[in-house]
């Protein structure tokens, strides 16, 4: 399978953001013809006020971000992971940070609402409170396309290895990590965490990150980018640069089988 991670620079303009995402996806199909595309976290909207984020939330299974990915999968007959987008929830007070896996016919094969919310203070003193706008999810998600089982996660989840252990136990071969990692944490932790999750789960890890900056309530915030693909041994086999674009890699079952036979982690687990 050939996989492609898309790297965008989302701002608080949903129409512009979706046009950019679609253009990059079409370019990737022309130049690389991948079997699976992964978009980053918040490919639909980033920054703005709490009210603007809530307004950017779209109806379940009918909004523009969801429809873009569904229609693109059908048009190109390609598997698409809609990294994450804001989706309305019943209470109307918050939104869901949702990732969806579409198969080549545009059918949903899995959907996931981000469980771990980014409520932290970065080393430069900047405060992030994702829970002010996002309602956390409660369920893991694994879907199958082209015979590969794909476990879904989003950004801050990467710091919680127990989530990925659970996805491994559910049979995941590929773990997707759409993200909007901060520059401050990304420099030191991004690649280390992704490679660690690949090694300890013996899965391929596909990570699509936001790059660039956006304004949120008068503060400029920057995303690290450096989207990558890591193999089950922890080697980085593709990486995007410091710019909008994409990176592609070929993944194969032989590598997966070899790593799992050499170090049979699942057989040795006692907890």
Kindly list the catalytic residues.
41, 114, 155
Q: What is d(CA 172, CA 160) in angstroms, rounded to the nearest whole number? A: 16
Q: Which residue has the tokens 């050499």?
A: 262
Alpha-carbon torsion, ordered 248, 6, 194, 78, to 10 deg: -60
Beta carbons of 177 and 153 less than 8 angstroms apart: yes
Three-state helix/strand/coil letters over 5-17: EEECCCCCCHHHH
Alpha-carbon torsion, ordered 46, 47, 50, 52, to 10 deg: -70
Residue 243, number of CB atoms within 10 A of its CB? 10
Beta carbons of 120 and 155 less than 8 angstroms apart: no
Query: Of 120, 9, 111, whose CA–CA distance to 70 is shortest?
Result: 111
Alpha-carbon torsion, ordered 22, 99, 195, 32, to 10 deg: -30
Q: Which residue has the tokens 């198969």?
A: 103
Q: What is d(CA 112, CA 129) in angstroms, rounded to the nearest whole number? A: 20
Helix (H) or strand (E) holding 37: strand 36-38
């Amino acid at each position: 399978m050939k996989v492609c991670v898309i790297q965008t620079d989302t701002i608080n303009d949903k129409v512009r953001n979706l046009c950019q995402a679609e253009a990059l996806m079409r370019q990737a199909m022309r130049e690389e013809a991948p079997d699976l595309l992964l978009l980053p976290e918040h490919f639909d909207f980033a920054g703005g006020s709490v009210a603007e984020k809530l307004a950017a939330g779209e109806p379940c299974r009918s909004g523009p971000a969801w429809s873009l990915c569904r229609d693109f999968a059908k048009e190109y007959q390609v598997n698409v992971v809609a990294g994450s987008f804001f989706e309305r929830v019943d209470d109307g007070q918050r939104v869901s940070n949702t990732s969806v896996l579409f198969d080549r016919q545009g059918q949903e094969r899995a959907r996931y609402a981000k469980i771990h919310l980014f409520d932290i203070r970065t080393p430069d003193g900047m405060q992030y409170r994702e829970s002010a706008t996002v309602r956390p999810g409660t369920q893991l998600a694994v879907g199958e396309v082209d015979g590969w089982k794909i476990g879904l996660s989003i950004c801050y989840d990467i710091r919680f290895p127990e989530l990925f252990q659970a996805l491994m136990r559910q049979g995941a071969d590929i773990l997707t990590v759409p993200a909007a990692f901060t520059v401050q944490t990304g420099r030191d932790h991004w690649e280390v965490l992704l490679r660690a999750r690949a090694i300890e789960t013996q899965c391929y890890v596909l990570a699509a990150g936001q790059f660039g900056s956006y304004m949120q309530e008068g503060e400029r915030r920057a995303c690290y980018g450096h989207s990558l693909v890591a193999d089950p041994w922890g080697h980085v086999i593709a990486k995007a640069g410091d710019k909008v674009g994409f990176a592609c890699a070929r993944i194969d079952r032989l590598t997966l089988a070899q790593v799992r036979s050499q170090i049979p982690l699942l057989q040795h687990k006692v907890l």
